[in-house]
Structure 1
Amino acid sequence: MTHPASKTGQCLCGAVTFTATNVNTNLNACHCDMCRRWSGGPFMALSCGREVDFDGEENIAVFDSSEWAERGFCKQCGSHLFYRLKDTAEMEIPVGLFEGNTDDLKFELQVFIDHKPDYYSFANQTETMTEQQVIEKYVL
């Protein structure tokens, strides 16, 4: 079940802070090649919709990573700040950036499960989606 909440966070150096007012507390992981290259492992994030206010925007750089999405990072420390869909401006924000209690989070979904390498595995039972399922649901 989705539990929208307001949460705050920041990058590693604090040059960029944010408040997300519609955070879905269901945690997602992406195993696609691009996310693993970007994050060094699976990209674990919370869906935050479009209602995210950033302070320190002059410290945000955006990389146009695909036809449908872009990725933001801090120019000062390199922290990954968001994955944003171009058509809807909806954002996924890395779970590690959020401050405060995380007891309300539930690991719910793994996408691009058919790209997950064999060298790691999560013990949690989650919903899974293949690359084709993700593209059909979110891109096409």
Structure 2
Amino acid sequence: MSEQGTKREGGCMCGAVRFVATDVPSKAGVCHCEMCRRWTGSALIGVTVPTDKVTWSGDALGVIASSHWAERGFCTKCGSGMYFRVTMPGDWFGTTELPIGLFDDANGFEITNEIYIDHKPDSFAYAGMDGRRLLTRQECVEKFGVLDGGGPED
């Protein structure tokens, strides 16, 4: 799968929100922070796509400011979590994290990194750990800077 120009489509559980994303990478990441676990009911397994490469359709896309530096999109009809997006200028600004389970075809992704690894429940295990980049919460705070608090209010 090419890192540039790959087009994928997806949507929420009920179909009221759909999207088309281009420049979708084959490399996926996992976030084990408390907010992502509560939002997804598990861990967020997603891909980072330039925000301007995602086109949304439907009339049920809701948005909530989940912190002072980020927002999350969801379907107002079925509740599916649609995206995570940093709203504060910095390294992740201008990108949208799309959960891979939303894609019509979720095959072909490779998990290459996990963040908040020290918050991962002991019951979670993913195959193919060799070469995967793992970051603790503190390493995320140091790398991304905007994560300045200690809990879900981050």
After TM superposition, is the score higher than 0.5?
Answer: yes
List alignment gaps of at least 5 residues for structure 2.
147-154
Partners of 2:106 and 2:54 in 1: how far apart? 19
**Greater fraction strand:** 1
Instruction: Quickly say closer, same or farther: Cα 1:82–1:123, change in 2 above 3 A.
Output: same
What amino acid is the match of 1:92?
E
Match for 2:116 among 106, 112, 117? 112
What amino acid is the match of 1:138?
F
Query: What pairs with 1:46-125 in structure 2 (closer than 5 Å)?
Result: 46-50=47-51, 51-56=53-58, 58-87=59-88, 88-100=93-105, 102-103=107-108, 105-125=109-129
Structure 1 position 100, deviation (Å) = 2.8
Structure 1 position 7, deviation (Å) = 1.0
What amino acid is the match of 2:3?
H
Matched, 1:27 2:28: yes
Q: Which runs of 4+ in 1 moved over 2 A?
A: 135-140
Normalising by structure 1, report the TM-score: 0.90
Partners of 1:24 and 1:36 in 2: how far apart? 23
Partners of 1:102 and 1:139 in 2: how far apart? 33
Deviations 1:27-84 (A, max 9, x none): 111000111111111111111121211001x311111111211111001111110001
Structure 1 position 101, deviation (Å) = 6.1
Partners of 2:128 and 2:68 in 1: how far apart? 32
**Which residue in the other structure is 2:135 paired with?**
129
Tell me if the contact between 1:74 and 1:80 (Cα under 8 Å) persists in the aligned partners: yes
Partners of 2:126 and 2:96 in 1: how far apart? 24
What amino acid is the match of 2:128?
N
SS in 1 for 2:42: coil
SS in 1 for 2:38: helix
Partners of 1:101 and 1:133 in 2: how far apart? 29
**Count of residue pairs brought into register by the alignment:** 138
Normalising by structure 2, report the TM-score: 0.82
